[in-house]
Amino acid sequence: MNLTSVGIIYRKELIDALRDRRTIISTIVLPILMFPLLTLGFGLVAQKSMQKMEREGSTIMLLGETNAPALARTIRQTDGLRVVAPSEDYVVLISEKKLRAAVEFPPNFEQETRMTSDKPPQVKIYNFEGETRSQVAVRNVQKVFDDYRKQLVAERLAESGLTKDVLKPFATREENVAAPEKVGGNVIGGLFPYLIIFLCFMGSLAPAIDLTAGEKERGTIETILASPASRLDLVVGKFLLVFTASIVTAVVSLASFALTFSLPFLVAREFAKRNQLPFDISVSGVASVFLMMLPLAVMFAAVLMAIGLYSKTTKEAHSYASPLMLLVLMPAMAAMVPGFDLNATLALIPVLNVSLVSKEVLTGNYPWLLILLVFASSWGYAAGALSLAVSAFERESVLFRT
């Protein structure tokens, strides 16, 4: 391998890539915009719909109101609840989302609540199971009942000459003993590696295909093959560019992620400090995850290049790469499954191993033997993928596939 040649090829590919709109969009623009747009967009929509819900309130119906005149009055005075006149077709109205809930009081409800009995009276709250706005109405109604229930209990205790303490013979208190970084790591531990694995893959996709199948499509492959650069120099120069794109995408998107969430994160941290809640993110953990990602980025770049080399057109290459993306995403998501932890066998499965070990590292666990196993096997796969790309570049049947 001639390093000067590799450098010349890398430099040319870099200039070429920086002028390719598709590569710039997928490597830099999209990762920068993704998080702010997602959060802002989602946040705005959610906020608007919440405001609308608050403004309109929940429309409910009271059935048998005369059985509970005092309680009905309280309900009518509660903010966010709008009572409409009772009617027979409340089931239809709820199903058609014209009514959010209907409350049915049994006969003599209020009188019976003043007496103790084995069979306390029961209020029915008709609702649309799983429908958000119906559930909001149910919650609001339940809150009114809860207050009423507490008031009745207090009255009964007072009549019997007892205090509220009689209801609470002992207390419990939960106390966190894990370090703040570990708590923070546990919260983001599954999502963070998944995000980086996905972004590393996405970052190398466009350039890997453009530098291989794209060259075939544009007819420049023969031009470059006729130059004195060896095929090894060519494939290494190209690979380094794809690898760079992959890392740049991951770094850019994480920077965007950090900036987008830094405000809520800082707020959360302040909140955590004030309430003495443990929450922090370990910087060394994040750095370790990046280190574990390197062999994965190498593997993605090399595999995608091999696919691009084999394909006759960029379209063909993209159709092979799409199912591969699913293969990458599924093990990457595994880290988010609770209770799915790293062991010696899983440490040998590509992508899944890095995803799981990242979760461990972020929660402050460093199982060194397993980490070593993951690192070694990942580099093994990366080397295998790279040699696959090199051999594809040296095979005429691949380069000149008809």
Partner 1 sequence: MIEATNLTKVFRDRKGGDIRAVHGISFRCQPGQIYGLLGANGAGKTTALRLLATILRPTNGTARVAGFDIREQPEKVRANVGFLSTATALYGRLTARETVEYFGRLNGLNGDKLRRRTEELFALLGINEFADRRCDKLSTGMKQKISIARTLVHDPPVMIFDEPTLGLDVMAARTIVGFIRDCRSRGKTVIFSSHVMSEVQKLCDYIGIIHEGRLLAGGSLAELRQRTRQADLEEIFVQTVEAAP
Residues in contact with partner 1 by CB under 8 A are 5, 8-9, 12, 15-16, 19-20, 218-220, 222-223, 225-230, 396-397, 400
Residue 244 CB, nearest approach to partner 1 (Å): 17
In sequence order, what DSSP letters do the residues of 130-155 get, joined into one string?
A: T-HHHHHHHHHHHHHHHHHHHHHHHH
Q: CB of 367 within 8 A of CB of 344?
A: no
Nearer of residues 175 and 396 to partner 1, judged by Cβ: 396
Residue 343 burial class via C-beta count within 10 angstroms: exposed 0-12, middle 13-18, buried 19 and up: exposed
Spatial CA neighbour of 113 closest among 71, 77, 142: 71
Q: CB of 321 within 8 A of CB of 205?
A: yes
Q: Which residues, other chains included, contact 399 with Cβ-Cβ below 8 Å and sequence gap of 6+?
A: 216, 221, 225, 309, 392, 393
Residue 222 CB, nearest approach to partner 1 (Å): 5
Residue 214 CB, nearest approach to partner 1 (Å): 10
**Alpha helices, DSSP H, located in 19-131:** 21-24, 30-56, 69-77, 90-95, 109-113
Q: Which residues, other chains included, contact 154 with Cβ-Cβ below 8 Å and sequence gap of 6+?
A: 164
Residue 203 CB, nearest approach to partner 1 (Å): 19
Residue 247 CB, nearest approach to partner 1 (Å): 22
Nearer of residues 10 and 379 to partner 1, judged by Cβ: 10
Residue 386 CB, nearest approach to partner 1 (Å): 21
Nearer of residues 132 and 223 to partner 1, judged by Cβ: 223
Nearer of residues 52 and 218 to partner 1, judged by Cβ: 218
Residue 15 CB, nearest approach to partner 1 (Å): 7
Nearer of residues 9 and 209 to partner 1, judged by Cβ: 9
Q: What is the DSSP letter of 345?
A: T
Q: CB of 26 within 8 A of CB of 205?
A: yes
User: How many angstroms separate the CA atoms of 210 and 215, rounded?
Assistant: 7
- Quick one: how far is CA 70 from the chain centroid? 47
Nearer of residues 22 and 133 to partner 1, judged by Cβ: 22
Nearer of residues 12 and 82 to partner 1, judged by Cβ: 12
Nearer of residues 82 and 231 to partner 1, judged by Cβ: 231
Nearer of residues 13 and 181 to partner 1, judged by Cβ: 13
Sign of CA dihedral 32, 33, 35, 40: positive
Residue 245 CB, nearest approach to partner 1 (Å): 15
Round to the nearest angstrom and report the end-to-end CA distance of the chain: 29
Residue 250 CB, nearest approach to partner 1 (Å): 25
Map residue 103 onto helix, strand or coil.
strand
